[in-house]
Amino acid sequence: MNAPARAPLMSLDDALDALLRNAEPLTRNEDETESVATFEAVGRVLAQDLVSALQVPPNDNSSMDGYALRCADVTEKGAVLPVTQRIPAGHAGTPLKPGTCARIFTGAPLPAGADAVVMQEDTREVGGDFHAVHIDAVPQPGQWVRRAGEDVTRGAVVLARGQRLDEAALGLAASLGLAHLRVARRPRVALFSTGDELVMPGEVPPEAMKPGAIYNSNRFFLRALLQRFGCEVSDLGIVPDKREATLAALKTAADHHDLILTSGGVSVGEEDHIKPAVQQLGALDLWQIAMKPGKPFAYGHVRRDPGVTGRSHFIGLPGNPVSSYVTFLLLVRPFLLKLQGVADAAAPRLPPAMPLRADFAVPRADKRREFLRVRRNAQGGLDLFPNQSSGVLTSTVWADGLVDNPAGTTIAPGDTVHYIALSDLLA
Ligand code: AMP
Ligand code: MG
């Protein structure tokens, strides 16, 4: 049975709620975590708190090349102090005798007794050698000193379970001495495209394309997006618009994957093989989401063979490339992050929107909440891509963000609109 032609629309927030309710984190189960080298952990999600066994930095140390001294010994400019030791980074000095100073370099531990560093630019050597220096600035206690533990205190939770690791986080984990990190295993995702019109680039040259044929573009960005969000992808290619082929693809995929992701074949009125096939092997809801692009969207599950535990999630994205791309970022992204145990707070459903000035007009209001492809301009405002059709992938490449425009809202030049950076949605 096809969905009724005018199924009631579902709000994007309700669709997100329903999806996330079903996305039970894999990390509930200890077997679903793995230890990876810190070098390899970018993009992965921590499955344990990282508690520091030490303080960072481990000692008070100098943040400048210069001289370590006691402030009490320099009450006015031009004081002369003998230089009694030299402390490069990686070496410990000896306690500083009152009335003397130590040549010190960036990162070197402050010798006991010293309470400040004077940078070398504020000193002059006496008599052409470095055995004594004039101190030409009156130092303040703590000047050019990095305090022990100012970055990390011992026992602190430095990175929490559920945190997605970016490059900086790898560095921070390494600063605690951690060469391996326990992370959520990668979600296993089976990807396939539906549509008899689809041809793979490389198989048929442009001049030989049959009428009605188009190249499969969704497969390229969907595979790459899945990988970006930490998934292990089995790409099943193009599945013909036939019931048997669709059933076969779903059956093979379900046993070994957490999610089956498809594009195309979920529009209402479509010659639709996805819906009956998924329903035969599990359950499927076709949603009509009140958003543009991206109205048709399907969520369900596919049973596994008896004897294989659990079931596979199923998500059917619309076929139109822009709809597919945008629904991936707005709906599938949070779903995949939650599967890996990312806390809602760390990855809010929608990244924060920034108020920016529209340097364009949308004179006709739409019934649906619209995500307009826009780009920031040099005047601090936003330009609109002229063709907002859900088939025009050029708009998505041109854009650096989406304007989240509420249903029923027109936009006049100068209006403040809600801008969501694509870079935030890709993070
Ligand atoms: P559908 O959702 O299957 O009705 O497809 C909607 C539109 O998207 C049609 O114009 C399809 O030709 C197009 N389309 C579907 N899948 C893809 C794909 N993988 N790459 C490019 N265009 C697609
Ligand atoms: Mg189709």
**Tens digit of each residue's pLDDT (9 = 90 or more) over 31-48:** 899 999 999 999 999 999
CA nearest neighbour of 341 among 188, 167, 139, 184? 184
Condensed to tens digits (0 to 9), the pLDDT of residues 13-35 reads: 999 999 999 999 988 777 899 99
Condensed to tens digits (0 to 9), the pLDDT of residues 91-146 reads: 999 999 999 999 999 999 999 999 999 999 999 998 766 589 999 999 999 999 99
The predicted pLDDT at position 130 comes to 58
> Counting ligands in written order, which one lies closest to the CA of residue 264?
1
> Is any ligand 1 atom within 6 A of the Cβ of residue 198?
yes
Pocket mutation for ligand 1, best pick of 2, 196, 198 (most atoms within 8 Å of C-beta): 198
CATH class of 354-425: mainly beta
The predicted pLDDT at position 138 comes to 97
157: left (phi over 0), alpha (psi -120 to 50) or beta: beta
How many other β-carbons are positioned within 10 Å of the β-carbon of residue 345? Answer: 7
Q: What are the residues whose beta carbons fall under 8 Å from the beta carbon of 297, sequence distance 6 or more?
A: 15, 266, 286, 287, 288, 289, 315, 316, 317, 318, 327, 331
Enter the pTM of the model. Answer: 0.91
In this structure, what DSSP letter does residue 302 have? E
Superfamily designation of domain 12-29+186-345 = MoaB/Mog-like domain (3.40.980.10)
Residue 4 has pLDDT above 70, yes or no: no
Q: What are the residues whose beta carbons fall under 8 Å from the beta carbon of 283, sequence distance 6 or more?
A: 300, 301
How many other β-carbons are positioned within 10 Å of the β-carbon of residue 259? Answer: 23
The predicted pLDDT at position 330 comes to 97
The percent of residues in the chain predicted with pLDDT above 90, rounded, is 88
Matching fold, domains 33-56+150-184 and 354-425: no
> Residue 70 CA to chain centroid, in angstroms?
47
Quick check: 110 and 104 in contact, CB under 8 A?
Answer: yes
Tracing tokens 């402050």 back to the chain, one arrives at 110
Quick check: 329 and 323 in contact, CB under 8 A?
Answer: no
* Domain-wise residue ranges, the chain: 12-29+186-345, 33-56+150-184, 61-146, 354-425
> Is any ligand 1 atom within 6 A of the Cβ of residue 262?
no
> Is any ligand 1 atom within 6 A of the Cβ of residue 220?
no
Quick check: 69 and 118 in contact, CB under 8 A?
Answer: yes
> Is any ligand 1 atom within 6 A of the Cβ of residue 265?
yes
> Counting ligands in written order, which one lies closest to the CA of residue 212?
1
- Distance (angstroms) between ligand 1 centre and the Cα of 263 equals 7
Banded model confidence at residue 1, pLDDT cuts 50, 70, 90 = very low
| Index of the ligand 1 atom closest to the CA of residue 318 | 2
The structure tokens listed for 217 are 């573009």
As a three-state string, the secondary structure of 32-57 is: HEEEEEHHHCCCCEECCCEECCCCEC
Which ranges constitute the DSSP H helices of 134-205? 167-175
**Side-chain-side CA neighbours of residue 256 (13 Å):** 10
Yes or no: domain 33-56+150-184 corresponds to CATH 3.30.360.10 = no
Which stretch of DSSP H or E encloses residue 128? none
**Residue ranges near ligand 2 (ion) with Cβ within 5 Å:** 195, 264-265, 319
Banded model confidence at residue 249, pLDDT cuts 50, 70, 90 = very high
- Distance (angstroms) between ligand 1 centre and the Cα of 140 equals 68
Q: What are the residues whose beta carbons fall under 8 Å from the beta carbon of 353, sequence distance 6 or more?
A: 404, 418, 419, 420
Condensed to tens digits (0 to 9), the pLDDT of residues 270-322 reads: 567 899 999 999 999 989 999 999 999 999 999 998 888 889 999 999 999 99
Residue 189 has pLDDT above 60, yes or no: yes
User: 61-146 in CATH: which number?
Assistant: 2.170.190.11
> Counting ligands in written order, which one lies closest to the CA of residue 192?
1
| Index of the ligand 1 atom closest to the CA of residue 263 | 16
Condensed to tens digits (0 to 9), the pLDDT of residues 338-383 reads: 999 998 767 778 999 999 999 999 999 999 999 999 999 999 999 9
